[in-house]
Amino acid sequence: MPVTTPIKMTPEEWRAEAISRFGPNKMKWRFVCPSCSHVASAEDWKEAGAPEGSVGFSCVGRYQPEGPGDEALAAAAFKGKGGPCNYSGGGLFGLNPVHVDLEDGKSVHMFAFAEATVQPLHTPGKPTETGV
Ligand SMILES: [Zn+2]
């Protein structure tokens, strides 16, 4: 998996980033597991019956009752592909790359956001139609 430098954000910046990528509906916010690269939306965590605090924090594979099974989950972890896996942001390996600094001095370590499915309007510099 790629080595990433933690990205530091305030909660406001984090929310703004999420909204600019996915819109205001939190259920549509999508995250990339830093262990297996599986992309899941908050909806996926909810459907799996995961606690709210696990969204964007622990891989959704931990919570899917009809998932691929414990062995497959463990095998997918730390491979950077496939998944979901059983990675937990609270475990021994702190891979979560986005550090959201809270006002009380604590820092919550989150998964990175997935690429937006809809391009935000304010991304200049990306060629769209290259004049045929
Ligand atoms: Zn994972």
The pLDDT value given to residue 98: 96
**Residue 74, helix vs strand vs coil:** helix
Q: How far is the CA of 78 from the centre of ligand 1 (A)?
A: 8
Q: Which two tokens stand for residue 13?
A: 């910046």
The domains of the chain are located at 7-113
Do residues 29 and 110 lie in contact, with contact meaning Cβ atoms separated by under 8 Å? no
Q: How far is the CA of 49 from the centre of ligand 1 (A)?
A: 16
Along the 132 residues of the chain, how does pLDDT read in single tens digits? 455 688 999 999 999 999 999 999 999 999 999 999 999 999 999 999 999 999 999 999 999 877 778 888 988 998 888 899 999 998 878 899 999 999 898 999 999 999 886 555 555 555 555 555
Q: How far is the CA of 79 from the centre of ligand 1 (A)?
A: 9
The pLDDT value given to residue 65: 78
Q: How far is the CA of 10 from the centre of ligand 1 (A)?
A: 25
Q: Which residue has the tokens 């990675």?
A: 87
- Starting at the earlier edge strand, list the strands of the sheet with 98-101: 7-9, 98-101, 107-110
Q: How far is the CA of 70 from the centre of ligand 1 (A)?
A: 12
